[in-house]
Structure 1
Amino acid sequence: MRILIVTAGSRGDVAPFTGLGQRLQQAGHQVALAAHDRFADLVRERGLEHRVLPGDPLELVRARTAAPSPDAAQAVFAAFLDELGEGVTAAVAAGTDILLTAFGPAPLSRVVADGFGIPSLGVYLVPGVPTREFPPPGRPVTGQVSPADNIAAGRELLARTASLYADVLRRLRARLDLPAATAEAPGPPDDWPICHGFSPAVIPRPADWPATTHVTGYWWPATSPRWQPPEELVDFLGAGPAPVFVGFGSMTPNHERLHDVVAAAVKRAGVRAVVQSGWAELGPVGDDILVVGDMPHDWLFPRMAAVVHHAGAGTTGAGLRAGVPAIPVPVLLDQPFWAARLHRLGVAPHPLPLDELTADNLTATLRSCLDGSTYRDRATELARLVRADDGPAVVLSLIAQLHGGRGQRP
């Protein structure tokens, strides 16, 4: 069966689907992964077919940031969505029997799948269905909130998303000769199957989710068979005690300020650090600092004493898998949600939002994380649970149901 996985965004939005794709291939399916062109090598080196989606997520972030007004920023995003809809259509047209879609492009993907008469399935890296049990990722939370507040916030977020996509979806329906919707629904129908690629040990499946909504366990990124650790990194790791990792992934904050904050905190805390430059182009200088580029977290994180990161979904999962304590420094979107979850799970101190990060509070938090064994013991315990999951198995089972139903939803 020809399976297409559609995702959009940063590296963290793509990498987990390489592992899921490999598992689907091992089960005998033909798998293509549609993602932005900057991730073509990431996909192909893992043995998957790459189908190009237009746009560059880094340039999108920069363009929206530089927009002179909220309306201008909205126009930039609308143009991006229009191009993305065309890209998803072309990717499906290249040969697809079942479409799997990440959360971001899901509204587009569902319409395109309907246009081609093929079944589709949600494969989400973050909770994407409203629940009474917790507020939706991306929703600021202050103080105590009730179950009613949580479900209302989740529905409001879906309604805002529907409004954001409405014009683009109308144009996409017209291009695919689909009947116009009377109004864009504020989310997928309850009978549309969705798999969430995180562990139930991290977020137990809410009791009020529809029966077709699942928590499967993580889909771990696949590692390129050609990858070898740089000699400089191996030498650095062997030259002293385990360092801490510092990286903010696809975030693009003021890197000049971060240089100084990270360098000072590493020195004051008396630790060594491996710093991943990322989109922020971090490059702090210090005798006990090594700056590196992209590399597999499944190799690097188990060799760290702790990981300081932006609490993106993928990096959060990698840290949990490695069994090392975290210091979450959230910036936006779902990151505060994951940062709070890490603290609640007992593997991290209180989060340090990036706009509040200073050399003093990072130093103090590093020491509180590393002094004593409480965080590491809990991280070790949780890692055993996370590693025991078989995330792709549920996806494979649902694919079999969709195929057996000849496109009918289970």
Structure 2
Amino acid sequence: MFLVCFIDCRWFYVFLQEFGHHVRLATHVNFSSFVKSAGVDFYPLGGDPRVLAGYMARNKGLIPSGRAEILIQRKQLKAIIESLLPACTEPDIETGVPFKAQAIVANPPAYGHAHVAEALGVPLHIFFTMPWTKKKLKLSPIAYFSTYHGSISHLPTGYMWSPHVVPKPSDWGSLVDVVGYCFLNLGSKYQPQDEFVEWIQKGPKPIYIGFGSMPLDDPKKTTNIILEALKDTGQRGIIDRGWGDLGNVTEASNNVFLLEDSPHDWLFPQCSAVVHHGGAGTTATGLRAGCPTTIVPFFGDQFFWGDRIHEKGLGPVPIPISQLSVENLSNAIRFMLEPEVKSRVLEIAKLIENEDGVAAAVDAFHRQLPPELPLQPASSEEDELPSPMVLLFLQLQKWSCLPFGM
């Protein structure tokens, strides 16, 4: 099967390839080398993840706060949408080897995945790291086109989190699976600098603090809050610079290490607790490492994971980035260092360690496939011309990206 994927979970796709599938992972060009290093084909999607992250942080979600923000988001969405169809049909950019998707794996915010699947007549399977199956409005579900012998009420969906952290609700039905966490396991090949290893070994386990790809309005102010909180609680700390330029100070105490980059699955087991933005992958890695967790959410599902961590007793009440202060962070650090919190996290860590989310995800994908798949047609001159459905999709792309007033 020729399979195109619009969600980054490399080992899931490596495992799919072991079953004989030809997998292409389509994502932003920033992640090209990251994808290729796992032996998975790469195809570039449009848009810049740094710009998208900045937009989400400034506007606290998808609703724009002004005309300038609307134009930024329109440009990004246009670039993404226009690259989806080529990602499913165009030959490999480097080798020229033909490629036509027979199935699509995507996350819900892929902006057009369902329409591409409909245009190509191929099955679509949703995988995501936050809940998207909701019935709050009590409306009839959208009936997506599928090759499942007609329309279905919703698409097959696999959620990539541990059922011990968020169990599957009983009313989600057989098309929805909670498969477990799917870890990258990058730490097995990581070689830390000697200076970093020596610093870790000089004292008690430090606290990790970093916000990954999240932009910061005032990196210096945030850094000072972190330094003061560490001093106030008497803790050693690792400050991860990330995309927000955190920890950009001329001089730091011997109790603080300023980190450029390190795989979390290697780093977190060296730490006593972690403070981060609440990304699904970072949260999962911290729990597997047995680290009490403080989540400082910026937007989106980060608030959900912050609340869930607190509800399970694995960390304090989440601190939104706008409310981060020396007092709040100091109290959170003291909460994480309580023995009973550590004990609860270690219990969860053991349960997660015994799960195999990648294998469960692959099983769910195969189990939800329709009985018959679209054949991979032989190349011909007719294949060079898009079908009427594809032409319609292309026209809809143009219409959706026109500026206001047209």
**Same topology, TM > 0.5:** yes
Cα distance in 2 between the residues matched to 1:349 and 1:68: 31
Unaligned regions of 5+ residues in structure 1, if any? 8-13, 132-150, 160-172, 174-187
Alpha-carbon displacement from aligned partner over 1:14-65 (angstroms, at most 9, x marks no partner)? 3xx0121222223332222111011111111122111111111112344674
The corresponding residue for 1:42 is: 34
Q: 2:22 aligns with which of 30, 33, 43?
A: 30
Kindly provide the CA deviation profile for residues 324-359 of structure 1, in whole angstroms up to 9, marking residues without a partner as x: 101111121111110010011111012222111111
1:20 aligns with 2:12: yes
Contact 1:243 1:273 in 2 (8 A): yes
Q: Pick the aligned partner of 1:405 from 360, 371, 380.
A: 371
Contact kept in structure 2, 1:46 and 1:224, CA below 8 Å? no
Q: 1:21 to 1:74 in 2, by over 3 A?
A: same
Q: Any idea what SS the aligned residue of 1:348 has?
A: coil
Q: Residue 221 of structure 2 corresponds to which residue in structure 1? A: 257
User: Does 1:213 pair with 2:176?
Assistant: yes
The one-letter code matched in structure 2 to 1:92 is: C
- Structure 2 CA distance for partners of 1:26 and 1:228, relative to 1, 3 Å: farther
Pairing of 1:80-99 with structure 2 (within 5 A): 80-94=76-90, 95=99, 96-99=101-104
Where 1:83 maps in the other structure, the secondary structure is helix
Q: Distance in 2 between matches of 1:313 and 1:388?
A: 19
The one-letter amino acid paired with 2:108 is F
Distance in 2 separating the partners of 1:119 and 1:5: 12
Shift of 1:213: 1.1
Kindly provide the amino acid, as one letter, of the partner of residue 44 in structure 1: K
Q: Secondary structure at the match of 1:342?
A: helix
1:196·1:215 contact (CA, 8 Å) conserved in 2? yes
Measured in 1, the distance between the counterparts of 2:335 and 2:55 equals 39
CA distance in 2, matches of 1:331, 1:315: 14
| Structure 2 Cα separation of the partners of residues 243 and 69 of structure 1 | 39
* Identity level (%): 31
The answer to whether the 8 Å contact 2:187/2:266 transfers is no
* Distance change (3 Å), C-alpha of 1:248 and 1:382: same
How far the C-alpha of 1:189 sits from its partner, in A, is: 5.0
Q: CA RMSD, aligned part only?
A: 2.8
Secondary structure (helix, strand or coil) at the match of 1:110 reads: helix
Structure 1 match to 2:395 = none
The CA distance in 2 between the partners of 1:155 and 1:207, in whole Å, is 19
For residues 11-410 of structure 1, the aligned pairs below 5 Å read 14=8, 17-62=9-54, 65=58, 69-94=65-90, 95=99, 96-105=101-110, 107-131=111-135, 151-152=136-137, 190-223=153-186, 226-253=189-216, 254-283=218-247, 284=249, 285-370=252-337, 372-401=338-367, 403=369, 405-407=371-373
Aligned pair in 2 of structure 1 residues 219, 155: CA closer, same or farther (>3 Å)?
farther
Structure 2 vs 1, CA of residues 212 and 202 (structure 1 numbering), >3 Å: closer, same or farther? same
- Assess if the C-alpha contact under 8 Å between 1:22 and 1:222 holds in 2: no
CA contact (8 A) 2:64 2:70 kept: no
Secondary structure of residue in 2 paired with 1:104: helix
Q: SS where residue 242 of structure 1 aligns?
A: coil
Q: CA deviation at 1:74?
A: 2.5
C-alpha separation in 2, matches of 1:61 and 1:324: 26
CA contact (8 A) 1:301 1:324 kept: yes
In structure 1, what residue type is equivalent to 2:29? D
Matched residue type, 1:197: M
Distance in 2, matches of 1:216 and 1:28, equals: 21
1:5 equivalent in structure 2: 5
The offset of 1:68, in angstroms, is 9.7
Q: Distance in 1 between matches of 2:304 and 2:102?
A: 35
Q: Which amino acid aligns with 2:16?
A: L
Shift of 1:81: 1.7
CA distance in 2, matches of 1:206, 1:402: 19
| In 2: Cα distance, 1:287 partner to 1:259 partner | 16
Give the Cα–Cα distance (whole angstroms) in 2 for the partners of residues 28 and 68 of structure 1: 44
Question: After superposition, what is the alpha-carbon deviation per residue over 1:266-303, rounded to whole angstroms, capped at 9, x for unaligned?
Answer: 11211111111111111153321111123211111111
* Contact 1:190–1:212 under 8 Å retained in 2: no
Structure number, greater radius of gyration: 2
Aligned residues: 353
Q: Secondary structure at the match of 1:286?
A: coil
Which string of whole-angstrom CA distances, capped at 9 and with x for unpartnered residues, describes residues 171-200 of structure 1? Answer: xx9xxxxxxxxxxxxxx9534100000011
Say if 2:187 and 2:264, in contact at 8 Å, map to a contact too.
no
